A and B are shown apart, each in its own frame.
Chain A
Amino acid sequence: MEFTLTNFIFYGFALMTIASALVVVTVRNIVHAAFSLMVTLFGVAGLYVFLQADFLAATQVIVYVGGILVLILFGVMMTSGRLEMRIHIERGQLLLGGLISLMLLMLLLTVIANTPAWKNLTDDGTELPPTTERIGELILNGPFLLPFEVVSVLLLVALIGAALISRKEVRDE
């Protein structure tokens, strides 16, 4: 595998993603974890770009970084006092969780390595047309119209439900 700029950037993104994810799961301070998660999300967005999914990358940045992450930070602020910022970790749990995760990782890696259909599929580097127009066609005027509507209803329901659950006073009827 020759060392090109593309490769360098790809590995950079991959490393950034994995390293920051590692920070997310290990760091004690929850605010640090949240910001580390932002880096991870940006890294994933970069990987999307490498997969020539430009719309998806944009959505990832807008929705995740602009929405979900802010939501998470709100949650951190509302639920944790200053002393609660530190995440308590128990040693036995850490060990068991690590073991299981490691086994899971090993399994996944062996599956990935041993699945014949997935071998030797190289990105040939051909430029593809921007996906936004086609995605719009597929969603609003194609086979994905119904799932789109369903998901929109789901999102609405989730937002109403979230507002209802997190409301401070639940008046008894």
Chain B
Amino acid sequence: MTLQHYLVISAILFTLGIFAVLTRRNAISILMGIELILNSCNLNFAAFSRFMTPPEDISGQIIAIFGIVLAAAEAAVFLAIILAIYREFGSIRPNEVDTLKG
């Protein structure tokens, strides 16, 4: 196992997340994409902590834990917003929520 293995996995996850965010026409799917991205980040933190620092230093893992907390908060707020949008527009398709359209 080398660092690059993890990095490659992380990159693939990240790309898939980006792909989901860009292409899916459902807000919850987009949220899933975001979760993938966050996971790839956390994986990166953990991997760099494991390979680039002395074994005693685990601050990378702690940052990853913070990331998980943030992801939880983000998911809560995101779903609340989705509910509000659904009430307002009757839909959660992002291309239909275009009040800012010029």
Contacts and interface: CB of A to CB of B under 8 A. Distances in A.
Instruction: Give the size range of B's interface with the partner.
Output: 35 or more
A118 interface: yes
Contacts of A131: 58, 61
Contacts of A166: 79-80, 83-84
B50 A123 contact: yes
A53 B16 contact: no
Interface string B26-58: 111101110110010011001101111001101
B16 A158 contact: no
Nearest to B48: A118
Main SS of chain B's interface residues? helix
Contact of A53 (B23, B46, B73): B46
A87 B26 contact: yes
A60 to B, nearest CB: 7
B97 interface: no
Given A56-B46, A108-B14, A135-B65, A18 B76 contact: no
B28 A79 contact: yes
B16 A161 contact: no
Contacts of A72: 28, 31-32, 35, 75, 79
Contacts of A60: 42, 68
15 contacts: A25-B33, A34-B32, A40-B13, A55-B61, A71-B79, A75-B82, A80-B26, A87-B29, A98-B23, A120-B2, A123-B50, A135-B61, A139-B62, A158-B73, A168-B87
Interface of B: 1-9, 11-20, 22-29, 31-33, 35-36, 39, 42-43, 46-47, 49-52, 55-56, 58-59, 61-62, 64-66, 68-77, 79-84, 86-87, 92-93
Given A53-B58, A90-B25, A138-B59, 20 more contacts: A17-B9, A37-B32, A40-B13, A40-B39, A44-B42, A47-B6, A47-B46, A55-B65, A56-B46, A56-B64, A63-B69, A71-B75, A76-B28, A79-B28, A88-B26, A93-B23, A94-B23, A104-B15, A159-B76, A165-B80
